[in-house]
Structure 1
């Protein structure tokens, strides 16, 4: 049955309307209501003197708060609702539907990063494009921030990914949505713990901060059940405040990582988490760290830098992440020797083709006879594209977006772009589909696939994709190291 899962790939910006009536605080109620009548507006958006969202006056508010209760010259400030539900234009539409249903409102105000209104989304319009049988799934994916509810969100991810494949959605779109849901879980867990800590007497966060995720989450390329790769960027603060500031964020990190583990994000075995001081620094300390990574030549420093490169913000003051991203890209693109060292570190991440031109399978251990899709296919591709992007000063973190930007910058040819996109999409699809099948049959969800379960056509396509990756890595080796052999 067609489940119309395309709604889960839609963004708020595709369905928002321009607010028909928008007035400043201090406007008479009479004036605002007259404009609503003239335009047929369902609501009136209220902004402050700087254009930032201040509140909203809905049609039902006119009956309950205005008519026969206040004078026509009463200011709109006195009757508007200042607890407005908002979203960003680039967020997913299903999330907007879930929020409106959860809070019992019929509209959301779409705002930019400065909290200035840019449009409206109405529940009635959004629901009309969502089939009735999808509403329960939307509600499952839009649960509250408590741990038990978020466990349900993680479980609902698998059903959604399965349904999207049934609807022939591209694997990259499925990955992006899985990542979006995971980032939303991060955000809700952090927000919930910040509120709990304030209620317990810890107070508000002592400085602005930004929580970041790294690895596949930073690239928007999550598979099922990724482990935790996270950190904190803190606003700079005086040295004498260090104990107080660090105590707060150490506690917040501990609670965040604990709750993430409980809802389905296993602790990182490499300790790449905000509970580790290495991944919890002020913005100035992060800048210094990036500089040190660029100067050191040992493998540990290079591996830490490699983990960090794909970071993205998930909560808090995102300008801190933007500032650090600019510092990182600017430092790396000027450091050719560092890029050479990084390539050398990744040289052993060979593509999974043996000397006979067949799939290179695991030879020992529990996974003997299986093919490692992550380490012998997607990782060599992701690393190569990342390295050329850093060399070219490209700030994007997603692999497909990086390929597109590299093509526009004429760093990859038309043919290379076509081959890389094909390889990435096929490798992503084959692993993600196998993971979903494993989960639904109560088998372990891993990065390995059994070649015996592949059709002849799938094996041939897999080998073709691997050859494309191998050819690109050879070309990159010549460009970065000057070694053509």
Structure 2
């Protein structure tokens, strides 16, 4: 991976420099200009008594609006640009770059959680994290903050993915960027749905995303897998809470659908009462699933156990994760049953080592999601749940398992390589399908791959198959 794309996939902290002089609003303009010159900076930030950024003054402001027009003793607060637009240090760099491009900004302050300056992004240094084609893509991603704009952002993701791949970013990191963009859209849809409710929520809530979104491994066209953890509701307010959250959940799922996330055919969405509960009810549900081990419980667990918070307080999700770990320790038969179900998804290799053909017609098209990614993801999930690993991403789970000695360093590297290769083959095939006007799916034309690529993919699937067999044996007592 090259340096520039690696920086791009990081946070604003990776590209920021120390903040420029920070001055109170009553500072004379002449003093601000002198401070800017002395610090060899092209801007100064205006801060209030608590150190929070409330405005900015740049060289261009001085040249265009202040020089020869404003008395030197004029207070900075009278000529600053306010309010100041900034980002937090942990903001994704792609989003910061997109914001600078869309608004034609030369400077973007980096602020802490209280709005105090901790750094500054400068246009040229920040743009160095991305190629020219990538910069052009970012304006498409920074669309208007409405459902139509969100849908355009979703549509632009295929171009972004292609550009990132061409710039040398690993496919596993590309789907991570796509997943973060999708989470941003989820949060924006929550904010818009809240604004239209007309009254604040009667209890706090946390939006959960599950499945591929929960793992941070979304491809280009994920559907919705989400739910809500509601704050405790007294019995006498049960009807009131439901009366607020039912229309809110319906509106939220509709907004996400309008933004390009299709409704889940299985109904795994916040508008379904099964996926909208208090923390206590979620705990009871997880306990019930692990105790009964019905087909529905196994199916729901396979989706839900990859949950992570997307919006709202993270505490309830962490508490639910801790409860799930205890429930699975108390009932290991659930993971054994889940392992037996997941074992039905074998890798896409024939008995003779060739690629399985999953579509009638000429050539060989192999469903690498069903017979490559799913066996790997589900096996890693099973082992992570068995060992109490809280992470949800496949690579993060492998890292945690290796750190505790549950997976060898060699197996970790082999499985991470297999994950990256399978993801790349799937993502490139989806992009090629879209370029040809076809619907993007999970069937990869394995016959069209170059011989070295076929050999590498075959080795990757063999590694997944071996790991899957070992995991199933460990959890079921099989051999």
Query: SS at the partner of 2:253?
Result: helix
Q: Which moved more, 1:217-226 or 1:95-104?
A: 95-104
2:352 pairs with 1:352: no
RMSD: 3.4
Report the equivalent of 2:418: 423
The answer on whether the counterparts of 2:222 and 2:261 sit within 8 Å (CA) in structure 1 is yes
The answer on whether the counterparts of 1:6 and 1:164 sit within 8 Å (CA) in structure 2 is no
Report the equivalent of 1:403: 398
> Gapped runs of 5+ residues in structure 1?
none
Deviation at 1:440?
0.9
**Cα deviations by residue, 1:213-232 (Å, 9 ceiling, x for unpaired):** 11111111111211111122
2:71 pairs with 1:44: no
Instruction: Measure the CA separation in 1 of the matches of 2:26 and 2:105.
Output: 24
Deviation at 1:179?
1.1
Report the equivalent of 2:11: 11
Instruction: Measure the CA separation in 2 of the matches of 1:303 and 1:345.
Output: 9
Query: SS at the partner of 1:265?
Result: coil
Deviation at 1:448?
1.4
Q: 1:235 to 1:124 in 2, by over 3 A?
A: farther
Query: SS at the partner of 1:359?
Result: coil
Report the equivalent of 1:318: 314
Q: 1:109 to 1:313 in 2, by over 3 A?
A: farther
Deviation at 1:100?
3.4
The answer on whether the counterparts of 2:110 and 2:118 sit within 8 Å (CA) in structure 1 is yes
Instruction: Measure the CA separation in 2 of the matches of 1:339 and 1:417.
Output: 21
2:214 pairs with 1:218: yes
Report the equivalent of 1:85: 85
Instruction: Measure the CA separation in 1 of the matches of 2:18 and 2:329.
Output: 41
Q: Which moved more, 1:215-224 or 1:351-360?
A: 351-360
The answer on whether the counterparts of 2:429 and 2:445 sit within 8 Å (CA) in structure 1 is no
TM-score by length of 1: 0.85
Deviation at 1:186?
1.7
2:229 pairs with 1:229: no
TM-score by length of 2: 0.86
Instruction: Measure the CA separation in 2 of the matches of 1:128 and 1:424.
Output: 29
Instruction: Measure the CA separation in 2 of the matches of 1:30 and 1:176.
Output: 47
Q: 1:451 to 1:124 in 2, by over 3 A?
A: closer
Query: SS at the partner of 1:212?
Result: strand
Q: 1:283 to 1:108 in 2, by over 3 A?
A: farther
Instruction: Measure the CA separation in 2 of the matches of 1:464 and 1:389.
Output: 24
Report the equivalent of 1:55: 54
The answer on whether the counterparts of 1:333 and 1:390 sit within 8 Å (CA) in structure 2 is no
Report the equivalent of 1:241: 237
2:461 pairs with 1:462: no
Instruction: Measure the CA separation in 2 of the matches of 1:182 and 1:5.
Output: 20
**Cα deviations by residue, 1:177-231 (Å, 9 ceiling, x for unpaired):** 1112222222222222322x15xxx223333322221111111111121111112
Deviation at 1:389?
1.2
Report the equivalent of 1:121: 121
The answer on whether the counterparts of 1:86 and 1:109 sit within 8 Å (CA) in structure 2 is yes
Report the equivalent of 1:432: 427
May I ask how many residue pairs the two structures share in their alignment? 469
The answer on whether the counterparts of 2:7 and 2:15 sit within 8 Å (CA) in structure 1 is no
Query: SS at the partner of 2:229?
Result: strand
Report the equivalent of 2:287: 291
2:451 pairs with 1:452: no
Instruction: Measure the CA separation in 2 of the matches of 1:324 and 1:107.
Output: 41
Instruction: Measure the CA separation in 2 of the matches of 1:404 and 1:282.
Output: 32
Report the equivalent of 1:96: 96
Report the equivalent of 2:155: 155
Instruction: Measure the CA separation in 1 of the matches of 2:172 and 2:273.
Output: 33
Q: 1:167 to 1:331 in 2, by over 3 A?
A: same
Q: Which moved more, 1:83-92 or 1:175-184?
A: 83-92
> Gapped runs of 5+ residues in structure 2?
none
Instruction: Measure the CA separation in 1 of the matches of 2:235 and 2:107.
Output: 46
